Amino acid sequence: MIRSAIVEREINIGAIIDAVKSDDAGGVSVFIGTVRDVSDGRGVAKLEYEAYRAMAERELAAIVNEGVEKFAVRSIVAEHRVGELSVGDVSVAIASAHAHRTAAIDCTHFVIEEIKKRVPIWKREHFADGTQEWVDPTARVEAPAP
């Protein structure tokens, strides 16, 4: 099973894990991204994800195929949700299955990092105080490590 999708519905994590599990895959690595309630110290009420749908589907499929080639995973499913999401909702989920854990973990890590660099999806934060803004990761300064 090699599958990727941009979806508007809720992401079903159990279904994604079931889709990649198999008797010859001893390791399944899962990443789940959820909507956090705080951004740069401001309370977030909800998020709105917009995509350049056709290109996002194509780019996500390309990343998943690169993961399969690089790490030789048996199965992988990656889904990214778009539309309006509430705090705690799952925005992205990736599950990779391989005979051994390291390749499964490395593949899942690769896919989420590439999604963040290449898939044309944007998010607008709606803050608890009623204001809203598009997130620009290139404009953000990382907070110093504690």
Partner 1 sequence: MSAVTVHLFASYAESFGAHNLKIDLAPGGTVADLVAELRSLPGSFVLPSAPRVAVNQKFAAPDQPLSHGDEVALIPPVAGG
Write out the residues near partner 1 by the rule CB under 8 A. 33, 49-52, 54-56, 58, 80, 91-92, 112, 115-124, 134-139
**Rounded Cα–Cα distance for residues 66 and 62 (Å):** 6
Instruction: Between 91 and 96, name the residue whose CB sits nearer to partner 1.
Output: 91
Closest approach of Cβ 98 to partner 1, in Å?
22
Supply the minimum distance, in Å, between the C-beta of residue 124 and partner 1: 7
**Minimum CB distance to partner 1 smaller for 21 or for 58:** 58
Query: Do 66 and 72 form a contact (C-beta atoms < 8 A)?
Result: no
Rounded to a whole number of angstroms, the minimum distance from the CB of residue 78 to partner 1 is: 11
Provide the residue type at 11 as one letter: I
Q: Write down the least CB distance from residue 131 to partner 1, Å.
A: 14
**Of 84, 105, 83, which is closest to residue 94 (Cα–Cα)?**
105
Q: Is 116 helix (H, G, I), strand (E, B) or coil?
A: helix
Instruction: Select 59 or 74, whichever has its Cβ closest to partner 1.
Output: 59
